[in-house]
Amino acid sequence: MPFAIEFEGSFVGQLTAGGIWGGSSRGCFFGYWIDQAVAGRGLMSRSVGLATDYCFDVMKMHRIEINIRPENLPSRAVAEKCGYTEESFRPRYLHIDGDWRDHVSYVRFRDTPG
């Protein structure tokens, strides 16, 4: 479920709610990126907050995960600002730039305040 991020009329990023699952666990994971030219303006934090609200309130999801490379401190700050907490370390989790990269997993549950 992709969400476009616009700033001053231009497409500057995307947030995707992927791996959506239902049944007894109901959840998804978020992946996101933002153009460096507009980074640091709070656009991604606002986008993650809005998408989180949508997934919990409209889609009735129970759990949302965000998996981030450990060295990506700005992205980790976005997750934490939006009420996500660090849950686990995932070695060699995703294949990026030609190699398997470690990730830190953040999670937020529907009943967790943001």
Cβ burial, residue 36 (10 Å; 0-12/13-18/19+): exposed
**Does residue 114 belong to any structural domain of this protein?**
no
Question: Is 60 a domain residue?
Answer: yes
If one counts the domains in the chain, the total is 1
Q: Give me the mean pLDDT over the 109-113 stretch.
A: 86
In a domain, 70, yes or no: yes
Range of the domain at 36: 2-109
CATH no. for residue 96? 3.40.630.30
Tens-place pLDDT, residues 40-80: 999 999 999 999 999 999 999 999 999 999 999 999 999 99
Q: What is the pTM of this model?
A: 0.92
Q: At residue 100, does pLDDT exceed 70?
A: yes
Question: Is position 26 within any domain?
Answer: yes
pLDDT for residue 67: 97
**In a domain? residue 79:** yes
Decide if 13 is inside a domain. yes
The per-residue DSSP string of 11-78 comes to EEEEEEEEEEE-TTT-EEEEEEEE-GGGTTSSHHHHHHHHHHHHHHHTS--SEEEEEE-TT-HHHHHH
The SS3 of residue 109 is: strand
